[in-house]
Amino acid sequence: MPDCFPLFQIGIVTFFLSSVLDNLTSTIVMVSLIRKLVPPSEYRKLLGGVVVIAANAGGAWTPIGDVTTTMLWIHGQITTLKIMQGLFIPSVVSLAVPLALMSLTSEANGSSQKSSSFLSSEKMAPRGKLVLAVGVGALVFVPAFKALTGLPPYMGMLLGLGILWILTDAIHYGEPERQTLKVPQALSRIDTQGILFFLGILLSVGSLQHISFIHLFFSIATSLESAGILRQLANYLDANIPNADLIASAIGVVSAVVDNVPLVAAAMGMYDLTSYPQDSDFWQLVAFCAGTGGSMLIIGSAAGVAFMGMEKVDFFWYIRKVSGFAFAGYAAGIACYLATQNLDLSLPTSLAAIPFISGS
């Protein structure tokens, strides 16, 4: 078995886990797993870097995998089937390229020999498997819920939470020592500050349609102004960067420094559906670039910040060891997307037969 096999194993698992959960949750889960199985070392940090790249790549091709794709999905810029068809292959490429390059490094080939225990993870209790399956199933069910009922996605999430709540209460009934495994205790550990941050961003962007001038959040190196100012900025970009692909690619590069939520919100304010229709190449490329561009710096995504906090990774260590690989994957993913659009390559359209995928 190749020494670098754990590198690919972690990347692939994180990629698909992030597509049905979200990149932040997937990063926390996978980094926690790595911390339990791999002793502290440069190799463990490298695996964490793979988790960040894979989580952001995996979250870019589904409407529930990343905050920005969810925003675009809810507001009608993208639909479930088209975003999965258009971005799956580029997302795979944006992960495969960094993994292939990392596998050639001495850190990946030398240190992995010390981590043979990585491949033999502990068995999960049967009840744990049930809770995990129901939780992931509830998240995957959200697009189906929206397509079947027409209700907002958050109601599907609340329905799934209610089912999970009933399940955990039932399986841990009469076991005081397992009270921490129930939903109420899990809810008490929610990152409330992060939720309020995203809520504030979305509320502020919504106010742009009604306020003549507003200046927001230069502390995170961006400003969102009134709808008229955003329109002028869009006209300026169109005049100086006539290629929409370059604009979307630039959004991804900037998202490595600035949080991608206000960036995508600003793009939604600058360009409406009359400028770029639903499921146009521009919106799909914005979703991809904003999702994967944050991997280039550790501060560029929620996944990177979580990894930095959990592993106490230095900002410059990430630049030296991971940023170059992440940029190579980002550039390769964009090139792949443009090539697939020109060659009309995507996931099979037969996926439309699946009920929740065919809905918007």
pTM reported for the whole predicted model: 0.70
For residues 50 and 9, the answer to whether their CB atoms sit within 8 Å is: no
User: What is the mean pLDDT of the segment spanning 144-173?
Assistant: 82
Alpha-carbon distance values, 237 to 69, 139, 241, 283 (Å): 22, 37, 5, 16
Tell me 78's DSSP state: -
- Note the pLDDT of residue 186: 74
Query: Which band of pLDDT confidence, cut at 50, 70 and 90, is reported for residue 216?
Result: very low
The two three-digit tokens of residue 47, written as one number: 């695996």
User: Is residue 117 over pLDDT 50?
Assistant: no
Higher pLDDT, 85 or 202: 85
Contact of 16 with 111, CB cutoff 8 Å: no
- pLDDT-above-70 percentage for the chain: 75
**pLDDT at residue 4, rounded to an integer:** 58
141 or 60: which leads in pLDDT: 60
pLDDT per residue over 255-274, tens digit each? 888 777 777 887 887 787 88
How far apart, in Å, are the Cα atoms of 6 and each of 41, 71, 93, 310, 313? 15, 33, 18, 20, 20
Q: Which residues contact 287 (CB under 8 A, 6 or more apart)?
A: 60, 66, 68, 69, 72, 78, 83, 87, 264
**126 and 349 in contact (C-beta within 8 Å)?**
no
Alpha-carbon gap, residue 63 to 360, rounded angstroms: 10
- Cβ neighbors of 196 (< 8 A, separation 6 or more) are none
Residue that the structure tokens 């507001």 belong to: 75
- 3-state SS, 306-358, equals HHHHHHCCCHHHHHHHHHHHHHHHHHHHHHHHHHHHHHCCCCCHHHHHCHHHH
Query: Mean pLDDT across the stretch 115-139?
Result: 65
Type of residue at 143: P
Judge contact between 337 and 86, C-beta under 8 A. yes
The confidence band for 201, taking pLDDT boundaries of 50, 70 and 90, is low
Place of tokens 């969102």: 224
Q: What pLDDT, on the 0 to 100 scale, is given for residue 353?
A: 45
Mean pLDDT score of the chain: 77
Q: For residue 188, which phi and psi values (nearest 5 degrees)?
A: -70, -15
Across 123-143, average pLDDT: 74
Structure tokens at 272: 């409406």
Task: Give the percent of the chain with pLDDT over 90.
Answer: 19
pLDDT at 210: 42
- 311 has a pLDDT exceeding 60: yes
